[in-house]
Structure 1
C-alpha cells in the first residue's frame, strides 16, 4: 500500500528539508549580508546561481539512494526481458545523438558551400518536425495503460530526460536568460525576477522527491485527480482537482504556444498566427495519436535538441570572452567587469544626456494626460496648421507627407489617446532611470536596508517579492499535474525516486548555463556595442530590430554614437540571437530556434495531454475502469485534447502577457489548488474529504481573487480601478497567500469533521 515508507524515512525527510530551506530561503534572506567573493563570483550571487542548485541535486540523489536502500521493491517486469529492452533503448538513443550531430555538421558544411539560409532553416525544421511526427505515428495506441502512463516501463534516466524536456518550456529556453539579463539578481523593487526563477524551478524538485512523487507512483494512478478519488473518495475532491488541472495547465500551454509562434515565425518567416498553427500540428500528432507513450519518446529526442541548442552558443561565447568553453565555471570574471561598466555608465555625461531627454519626454506625456481632450484637440489643430503652411509655401513633398502621416497617426479619440500616452509616459519614465531602468546585475535587492525610510521600504518589498515568487515556483512545481504524471510512467517507486534525481540533473545543465549566457551577452553589449557609431553596428542588430519588441535602438541625443540607455533588448532576444552575437554559422541559429521550438512543443505536449485526460478521465467518466469504457475514455481524451489545443492556439494568437509572467501565474494556481490537500493527504491520516474540498477551494479562490484584483488586464476586465496589494506582493506570486490559506482551511475543517471511513477512501488509512 502507499505511504508505508513514511514512518521509516521521516528523520531523513526532516534533515533534507532543513537543508533545502537553508540553501533556498536562508541564503536569499541574508543575501545582502553575504559579502566577499567565491573565486571570481560575488558570494551571494554564486550561492544563489550555482551553489544552491548543487545542493538541491545532492538532496534528491541522497534521498533516492537512502530511501531505495531502506525499501527495496520487487521488480514487476522479467529482468532478462527488461534488460534487453533497456539495452535496445541505449542503442537507439546513442544512435540518435550521433545522427543528430552528423546532421548538424553536414548542414554546416553545406552552408559553407553556398546552401541558402532559407534552405538550411527549412531542412532542419522539416526534419525535426517529421521526426517528432514519426515517433507519434509509430507510438500510436488506444490501450489505456499505454495512452495514460506509457505502460509504466520507462527507465528512470529516460523518464528524467523526458521530464526535463517537459519542464524546460519556452519560458526556460527563450526567456530565462533574457530575464536574468534585464532583471539581474533580483529584479526591481516592485517586479521580482532574476535568480528567483533559477532557485524556484530547481528547488521545487526537492519537494517533488521528498513529499509527492514516490507516494503518488505507489498508487498506480493514471492522473493527478485520480489521487483525490482514491485518497478522499466521493466526487467533489476529484472534480475540483480536475478543473484546477485544466485551469493551471491551460494558462501554461498558452504561454508555450505563444513561444511556438514566436520561434516558428522567426525560423520560417511566416506570420505569427500561421506559425502557431504549423507547430500545433506537430503537438497534436504526438499527443493525439500515442498519448503518454508517444509524448515520452518525443520528449527524450527533444531534450537532446534543447540542451545542444542552449549549450553550444553559451560555450562559444564563453570561449570567445574567457578562453574557457565551460561557461558556468568561467563567467564569474565577467561579473566584475560588468559592475565596473555599470558604475561608469551611471556617471557618463552622454548617458545622463539621454536620460534627461527621456525624462523630458515623460514630463510632456504627463502634461498631456492632465487634460487629454484639450491636448488631443490642440495637437491635431497644430498639425493641420503646419499642413496649411507647408502647402502655401510649396514645401517638399517628403515634408508634407511626413506631416500628413503624423496627423493620421494621432489617436482617434480621447480613450485611445489616454491609453497611448499613458503607455508612452510609463516607457519614458522607466528609460529615464539609471541603466534604462535595468537592475544592476549582482545587486541582491533594490533599495537600501540602512538608507532612508523609503529606501528601507523598497528593500523590504524587493526581498519579500523575491521570496514570494521563489516560494510559489517551488510549491507550484510540486503541484503541476503534467510534471507529476511523468513519474507514473516508471516501473516502480524506486525508479520514480531515481527519475526525479535524473530530472533535476538534466534540468540543471541548462539552469547553470542560463545565468552565464545572460552575463556573457550583457558583457558583449556593454563592451563591444555601446560607444560604437550607429553606422558601424553589426548587421544582426538591424535584422533583429525589425521586431521592436525584441530589439530597438535610436540616436536619442543625436551624437551618432550608441549609448546604453538608447538600446532596448527584449528578454526573448538574448537566447534567440546568441549565435548571431557570437558570430556562429547560421546552422547554429537554426539549431537554437529548433531548440526553442522543441522546448515549447515538449511542454505543450504534456500540458495538452494533462488537460484532455482530466476532462475525459476525471470529469466525464470519473474513472470507470471496465474495458468497454476504457477505449471510450481514450477516444474522448483525444477529442478533448484537440478542442483545447485549438482554444489555446486562439488565446496565444492574441499575444497575451510575457511568457515568464504567464508561466509563473500557473505555478501559483497549481501550488494553491493541489499541494496543501495532496501533502496533508499523504502524511496526515486525519485529513478528511471535507478538509480537502475546503482547502482546495479556499486556496484556489484566494489565489484567483488576488490575481483578479491586481493583474492589470484582469482588473480592467472586471472594472476594478485600483490595485489592492497585500504587503506589496505582486499578483504573479498570489500563491504565497493561497497556499497557507488552503493549508489552514484544510487542517481546520478536517479537525472539525468526522474522519472518513476506509471504505469511503477506497484504501486503508495512511500510516503517516
Structure 2
C-alpha cells in the first residue's frame, strides 16, 4: 500500500466521521431555533472549542505558518493580537451578549439582536447587518475553499478544482442537515484534532533533526531576523515600527464583531459559564499558536538544508513537514487537521449566512412559513452561499490570508463597535448603530482597496474608530427608545447575579 493510499484512507475516515456527526445533529434538529442556535444548550467547553475551531480556519495551519516562514517571528504579532482579542471577547462580550439576547425577545441572530435591543421598527438596521454578513462571509467561505484546493494540490497532486469541490461538498452536506448543532459538534472534534496536530508536528520534527542549536543557527543564516519579534525597530524608528505592529496586532479588534464566533456566546446555557469558556479558549489558542509558530520556524531550518528540499509555497510548510516525518496513516490524520480547520470555519459561516437569509431577511418582510418550511429555507440559504463562494474560489491564485484579512476587517469594523456599544452604553440609538455600521463597512471596502492606505494601516483600525465616532455622534443627536432602559438594567442585573454566583462557587 502506497503512502498516499494510507493518507487518503485516514482522510476518508475523518470525513466519514464528520458526516456521522452531521447525521446525529440532523436527527436532533427539529426547529429553526435548534437549527440556528441549538436551543441555547452548549456547555462552556463545547462553546469554547467550537468558537476556536470556527475562528482559526486554514489560517492557523497554513496562513500563519506561511507568513512566519516567509518573514520571520515579526508576523507572530497577528497571533498575539488575536489571543488578546479573544480573551477580551470572552471576558467582556460573552456574558452580557448571552443575557441580553435572551432578554431582548430571545434574539437568535446578531442582526435580530441589534433590532430588538434598539427597538428599530423600520428594520433598516437588521437588513443592513444581514447584508454585511452575506457579503463578507461569502469572501470568508471562499477563502476556506481556496485553502481546501491548495491542500489537495500540495498533499496529493490533485487538480485544484477537485480538492476544492470535495471539501466544499462534504462541509455543505453536514452543515446543510445538521445546522448549528452539527457545525458545533464537528467543530469540537476538529478543534481537538487541530490541537494535537499543531503540538505534535514541531516536537517530532525537532526530535528527528536532533540538533536544535544547529537548527537555530541555520534558521538565522537564512533569515537573520527569523527569531526577532521586534524586527525593523531600529530601521523604522519607534513610532513607525509601533504603528506597523499596532496595525498587525489590530486583528484582535475583529473578535468583537465576528458573527460566527459570538453566536457561540449566545448559545451558552447561562451567562456565568462564559468564565469557563474563556479559560478553555485561551489555553487552546496559546498552545496552538505556539505550535504553528514553532512549525514555521523549524521548517525554515529544515528546508534550508539542501536545494532539493526547497519549499515552493510557504503556506504548505505544515503539510509537507507532516508528510515527511510521520507514518503515512498518521500523516493522513495530521493532514486531516488542516481540513478540520478549513471545514469548521466554513460550516459555522454558512450557518450564520443561512440565518441572515431566513431569520433576518425573509421573515421580516411579512412572510409566514411553518417551522418545517423555515428549516428548508435555512438549508437552501446554506446551499446558495456555498455556490457563490465556490465561484469566487475558482481562482487558485487567491491568497488565503488576503481573503481572510479583508472579511475579518469587514466584520470587525462593521459589527464590533455596535456590539460593544449595545452591551455597555444604554444611550446608543438605532440611527446611531445604523450609521456606524454602514460607516465601518464602507471604510473597510474603500481603505482596503487603496494600496497605499492598506499598506500603511490595516483597514480594521480606521473602520472601527470611525464606526464608534459616527455611532456616538448620531446617537447623541437622536433619542433612544423608551423601553431600552428597562431591558438594559435587566441584563446588568442578570449578569451581575451570575458573575457573583460564579465567584462564590470558586
TM-score by length of 2: 0.88
Q: CA separation of 1:443/1:334 partners in 2, compared to 1, >3 Å: closer, same or farther?
A: farther
* Aligned mates of 2:41, 2:375 — CA distance in 1: 19
Note the C-alpha offset of 1:482. Answer: 0.3
Q: Report the Cα offset of residue 579 of structure 1.
A: 2.4
Q: Secondary structure at the match of 2:450?
A: helix
Find 1:494's aligned residue among 269, 272, 279.
Answer: 272
Does residue 736 (structure 1) correspond to residue 461 (structure 2)? The answer is yes
Where do residues 594-605 of structure 1 align in structure 2 (5 Å cutoff)?
594-605=336-347
- Following superposition, the deviation at residue 341 of structure 1 comes to 2.6
Question: Could you tell me which residue of structure 1 aligns to residue 35 of structure 2?
Answer: 147
Partner SS for 1:441: coil
Task: Indicate whether 1:571 and 2:314 are aligned.
Answer: yes
Query: 1:443: how far off?
Result: 5.3
How far apart, in 2, do the equivalents of 1:499 and 1:322 lie? Answer: 38
- Deviation for aligned residue 1:747: 0.8
Cα distance change of structure 1 residues 656 and 631 upon mapping to structure 2, 3 Å threshold = farther
Give the alignment partner of residue 379 of structure 2, picking from 631, 635, 638.
Answer: 638
Contact persistence 1:577–1:589 (CA under 8 A)? no
> What is aligned with 2:360?
618
Is the 8 Å Cα contact of residues 215 and 302 (structure 2) preserved in structure 1?
A: no
Where do residues 681-720 of structure 1 align in structure 2 (5 Å cutoff)?
681-710=422-451
Q: Could you tell me which residue of structure 1 aligns to residue 24 of structure 2?
A: 138
Indicate how the Cα distance of structure 1 residues 767 and 215 shifts in structure 2: closer, same or farther if over 3 A, else same: closer
Question: Which residue, out of 198, 209, 232, partners 1:446?
Answer: 232
Shift of residue 656, structure 1, vs aligned partner: 4.9
CA deviations on 1:288-312 (whole Å, 9 max, x unpaired) are 1020111111112222322222222
- Per-residue Cα deviation, 1:597-642 (whole angstroms, up to 9, x for no partner): 111011100011111111111111139898x544333221210110
3-state SS in 2 of match to 1:685: coil
Cα distance change of structure 1 residues 623 and 659 upon mapping to structure 2, 3 Å threshold: same
* 210, 215, 221: which one aligns with 1:341: 221
Q: 1:625 to 1:142 in 2, by over 3 A?
A: farther
Of the candidates 150, 172, 189, which is equivalent to residue 284 of structure 1?
172
Q: Which residue of 2 aligns with 1:128?
A: 14
TM-aligned CA distance change 1:443 to 1:130, over 3 Å? closer
Would you say the 8 A contact 1:621–1:633 is kept in 2?
no
CA distance in 1, matches of 2:8, 2:58: 21
Deviation at 1:251, TM superposition (A): 1.9
How many angstroms does 1:767 deviate by?
A: 7.3
Task: Rate the CA distance shift 1:693–1:334 in 2: closer, same or farther, 3 A.
Answer: farther
Instruction: Work out whether residues 140 and 404 of structure 2, in 8 Å CA contact, stay in contact via their aligned partners in 1.
Output: yes
The CA deviation at 1:273 is 0.7
Q: Give the structure with the higher percent helix.
A: 2
Q: Is the 8 A contact 1:170 1:600 kept in 2?
A: yes
Change (3 A) 1:144 1:624: farther
Contact 1:168 1:507 in 2 (8 A): no
What's the CA shift for 1:158?
2.1
Shift of residue 142, structure 1, vs aligned partner = 3.4
- Note the C-alpha offset of 1:225: 1.2
1:752 aligns with 2:477: yes
| SS in structure 2 at match of 1:491 | coil
CA distance in 2, matches of 1:210, 1:684: 17
What is the root-mean-square deviation of aligned Cα atoms in Å? 2.6
- The answer to which of 497-506 and 147-156 deviates more is 497-506
In the TM superposition, 1:236-251 aligns within 5 A as 236-251=124-139
Once the two structures are TM-superposed, the CA of residue 238 in structure 1 deviates from its matched residue by 1.3
Of 466, 479, 492 in structure 1, the residue corresponding to residue 245 of structure 2 is 466
Per-residue CA deviations over 1:414-433 (Å, capped at 9, x if unaligned) read xxxxxxxxxxxxxxxxxxxx
Which residue number corresponds to residue 495 of structure 2? none
Q: Which residue of 2 aligns with 1:511?
A: 289
The answer to whether the 8 A contact 2:66-2:296 is kept is yes
Q: Of residues 85, 89, 96 in structure 2, which corresponds to 1:215?
A: 96
In the aligned structure 2, how far is the partner of 1:439 from the partner of 1:477? 29
CA distance in 1, matches of 2:387, 2:207: 44
In structure 1, C-alpha distance between the alignment counterparts of 2:467 and 2:66, rounded to whole Å: 34
Given that residues 338 and 523 in structure 1 are in contact (C-alpha distance below 8 angstroms), is that contact kept between their aligned partners in structure 2?
Answer: yes
Secondary structure at the counterpart of residue 657 of structure 1: coil
* In structure 2, distance between residues paired with 1:261 and 1:610: 23
- Give the superposition deviation at 1:660: 1.4
Residues 1:647 and 2:388 are matched in the alignment:
yes
Would the aligned equivalents of 2:258 and 2:416 in 1 still touch at CA under 8 Å? Answer: no
Q: Label 1:700 to 1:121 Cα distance change in 2 as closer, same or farther (>3 A).
A: same
C-alpha displacement at 1:741, in angstroms?
0.7
Q: Is 2:81 the counterpart of 1:195?
A: no
Q: Give the structure 2 partner of residue 661 of structure 1.
A: 402
Secondary structure, in 3 states, of the residue corresponding to 1:653? coil
Structure 1 segment 417-456 matched on structure 2, within 5 A:
440-442=226-228, 444-446=230-232, 448=234, 455-456=235-236
Once the two structures are TM-superposed, the CA of residue 447 in structure 1 deviates from its matched residue by: 5.9
1:505 CA displacement:
1.7
Q: How many residues align?
A: 483
Using CA pairs below 8 Å that are at least 6 residues apart, which structure has the higher relative contact order? 2
TM-score by length of 1: 0.59
Q: Distance in 1 between matches of 2:221 and 2:488?
A: 64
Larger-Rg structure: 1
Instruction: Measure, in 2, the Cα distance between the counterparts of 1:269 and 1:525.
Output: 20
The Cα of 1:763 is off from its aligned counterpart by 3.8
Q: 1:606 aligns with which of 326, 348, 358?
A: 348
Q: Secondary structure at the match of 1:664?
A: helix
Taking the aligned partners of 2:215 and 2:119, their CA distance within structure 1 comes to 55
2:504 aligned residue: none
Distance 1:334 1:266 in 2: 28
CA deviations over 1:661-695 (Å, ceiling 9, x no partner)? 21122221111101112211211111111111111
Written as runs of structure 1 = structure 2, the 5 A alignment for 1:311-330 is 311-321=199-209
Cα distance in 1 for residues equivalent to 2:216 and 2:205: 17
CA contact (8 A) 2:4 2:328 kept: no
Describe the SS at the equivalent of 1:445. coil
> How far apart are the structure 2 equivalents of 1:763 and 1:119?
59
Distance, in Å, in 1 between the alignment partners of 2:219 and 2:173 is 48
Gaps of 5+ in 1: 1-114, 187-193, 324-330, 343-434, 449-454, 546-550, 553-569, 711-722
TM-aligned CA deviation for residue 655 of structure 1: 2.3
Aligned match for 2:63, one of 167, 175, 179: 175
Deviations 1:188-234 (A, max 9, x none): xxxxxx11221122111122123212111112331111210121122
Distance 2:321 2:331 in 1: 8
